[in-house]
Structure 1
């Protein structure tokens, strides 16, 4: 087995405010090229976990970190965030707040300039990166004139230009319409599939987790309470309900049918197999 690209070992963290543990005894490995979804209620510790990976916790926010977080062989406590940005790119929930430049090209160039990338290299990287995220030819457009989905893809492009090994997206579609959401999730899946990029998505969109993720990690009160494949996690319908977390609609329907003695076998997590199974049930009932 390959060495994990992200490793948490007995990690606990409290913010400088000292209001209890934001993370509590976290042990977690993420393998290179894995797509991991992080699920939990607000305040469960999801964002804090992501900020540990890119080094903002503890190097910028202070507080007390116990245990070790290792990313691509680096102990994040020993490296400034600007160095970790070469390994980890992070995209947040409101792309408009991340835009500060007059053009799309300048937005991407900003991070490259701060990292000392030569101009000739930037001229090559910018159009290549825009093509990856489906924004080829947008160099002279104003970021504020883009749609929400395009802005989020631009935020991803600005991260990708740094050539990170890991992409973290923290509720990247919370302010987007359904089309914008689909654009962003398709983009992340493509990067994971075609570029081999390790993707960590912090989200509430459980249908997306079921479709794209290799693994789902559930946090509650700063602790990992579930860790497994989407099929394993979303079949635990009652446990997730006790945590006030949604499951994919397909799993919810199957759980209701199982309670009525009308469903046998595994709980589906995706719509297509669930529809096929319900069709078979209806056909059997008609017969």
Structure 2
């Protein structure tokens, strides 16, 4: 019986930008299974975006530097593949969607990336309809991307990548410029990725949402992995997170402080629903 290969396997990854004295990534090792969503958190300058750009070959093929280790994505050695070839497997959504949007209409925006991949026009039409449905923008085909809200623009950027049919989607701080409504819209799309069987990676500071939507959490600090595991395994390690100047979800922090104030040892929850259950048991 064959064992399914992981979506991403990183072994001994290190990277140093030119003209810098220290490596920005040091001995990075982790695997992510197909269909899992990974949340990457860490302080500013921890190396989160650098790690993301290593996974699709942007580093070091477009952004130069010295790289060590091995990155295998969908069974492909990234170092032996071009960025354009990797784009068929790994989609990348950046922090500011307007930097990715360049066409006059939404349907032209989504068609642009597919055209670069040589997708037939008849198939493009089906993919445009499907991608817009997945991100909740059906009926917007003829609108200008510039007429959209920030959350809608980010969803359009995601749709344009999804239409290229990668099996892995990387989103680098896609909600940092958005209001709460826009953030909820983007995380709603993240949920849809999982339902479609796609593997996802999201870099964000929104720990409440990260805890809710992600299967695994990777904590980076000064280029090194500090924690890697399920949301429960990572976010209940509150004291360690605090030493890294990071916080857990608000509900986790609340129960942590409650335990300190009242000398209790309640299980630390990572969601409001779990907190309600914890307090129900406390009141019995």
TM-score by length of 2: 0.95
Rounded to whole Å, the distance in 2 between the matches of 1:123 and 1:139 is 11
Partner of 1:263: 264
Give the C-alpha shift of residue 122 in structure 1: 1.4
- Aligned twin of 1:43: 45
Q: Distance in 2 between matches of 1:280 and 1:77?
A: 52
Partner of 2:265, secondary structure, is: coil
Alpha-carbon offset, residue 262 of structure 1: 4.7
Question: In the alignment, what sits opposite 1:11?
Answer: 13
State the shift of 1:265 in Å: 3.6
**Ranges in structure 1 where 5+ consecutive residues have no aligned partner:** none
Q: 8 Å contact 1:254–1:263 — kept in the other structure?
A: no
Residue number in structure 2 paired with 1:237: 238
Segments of structure 2 that go 5 or more residues without pairing to the other structure are none
Is the 1:89–1:168 Cα contact (8 Å) retained in structure 2?
A: yes
Match for residue 181 of structure 2 among 179, 182, 186 = 179
CA contact (8 A) 2:259 2:266 kept: no
Mapping for residues 96-111 of structure 1, pairs under 5 Å: 96-111=98-113
> In structure 1, what is the Cα distance between the partners aligned to 2:8 and 2:277?
38
Aligned-pair Cα RMSD in Å: 1.4
Paired position in structure 2 for 1:22? 24
Shift of 1:264: 2.6
The alpha carbon displacement at 1:276 in A equals 4.4
Structure 2 residue corresponding to 1:127, chosen from 129, 134, 155: 129
Tell me the TM-score normalized by structure 1. Answer: 0.94
Residues 1:156 and 2:143 aligned together: no
Equivalent of 1:68 in 70, 73, 81: 70
Conservation of the 8 A alpha-carbon contact between 1:249 and 1:271: no
Counterpart-to-counterpart distance in 2, 1:252 and 1:64 = 39
Q: Tell me the matched-pair count.
A: 282
Q: CA deviation at 1:54?
A: 1.1
Report deviation, 1:2.
2.5
Measure how far apart 1:89 and its partner are.
0.4
